[in-house]
Chains A and B, each alone.
Chain A
Amino acid sequence: AQKVTQAQTEISVVEKEDVTLDCVYETRDTTYYLFWYKQPPSGELVFLIRRNSFDEQNEISGRYSWNFQKSTSSFNFTITASQVVDSAVYFCALSEMNTGFQKLVFGTGTRLLVSP
């Protein structure tokens, strides 16, 4: 069965610090997708990134970067030089071919608090 674990419930940092949010997944499928979503205080979930299981290249988008390692079943998210606007709950998610790529299973989320 597919499962996503975000062991960090809450992280507090001071502005400009780097922070890494951990995501560990479980799946028996060889073909799957991994995602990160951001849920700011306004409540709406915002898509950040999608990676498929065949693409282990790390990705960088501005201050955001993602490290995908199949060997450890992890898909970690790093924010460099954090800002107050990064304060939100961040969700990692997984969808797999066997159960349908449209069915995303979400982790429990990590609440990030960035203080000035």
Chain B
Amino acid sequence: DAGVIQSPRHEVTEMGQEVTLRCKPISGHDYLFWYRQTMMRGLELLIYFNNNVPIDDSGMPEDRFSAKMPNASFSTLKIQPSEPRDSAVYFCASSSESSGANVLTFGAGSRLTVL
């Protein structure tokens, strides 16, 4: 298996622009997670899905952030409009119920820089 695939790996954008990060989970995994990593706040869970349904989005910072999972093989995290404080590495991870759902396999991350 190719693992969790994230794109783009790097994104540089200007304040106010829309940013879309993409994730393809491991085939057969039924949980998908979006985490954000910053120096100041460490690793934070933003939102997670089970069988394509959002279960907990309490970590989403504000209405500028939205996430979707239209099918089992694709998810997006969108920031509109972006701000410099959104600069971070965004990780997608997936897991399967059969492994207890909390053994996460992470993608390589998308490094976002908002100027």
Contact = CB atoms under 8 A, between A and B. Distances in A.
Interface residues of A, number: 22
B25 interface: no
Interface of A: 33, 35, 37, 42-47, 50, 91, 95, 100-109
Contact of A44 (B42, B45, B109): B109
Contacts, number: 50
Contact of B106 (A33, A44, A102, A108): A44
A106 B103 contact: no
A91 B102 contact: no
Nearest to A47: B103
Contacts of B100: 33, 50, 101
25 contacts: A33-B102, A35-B102, A42-B108, A43-B89, A43-B108, A43-B109, A44-B106, A44-B107, A44-B108, A44-B109, A45-B104, A47-B104, A47-B105, A50-B103, A91-B43, A100-B56, A101-B101, A102-B33, A102-B101, A103-B45, A103-B56, A104-B102, A106-B42, A107-B42, A108-B42
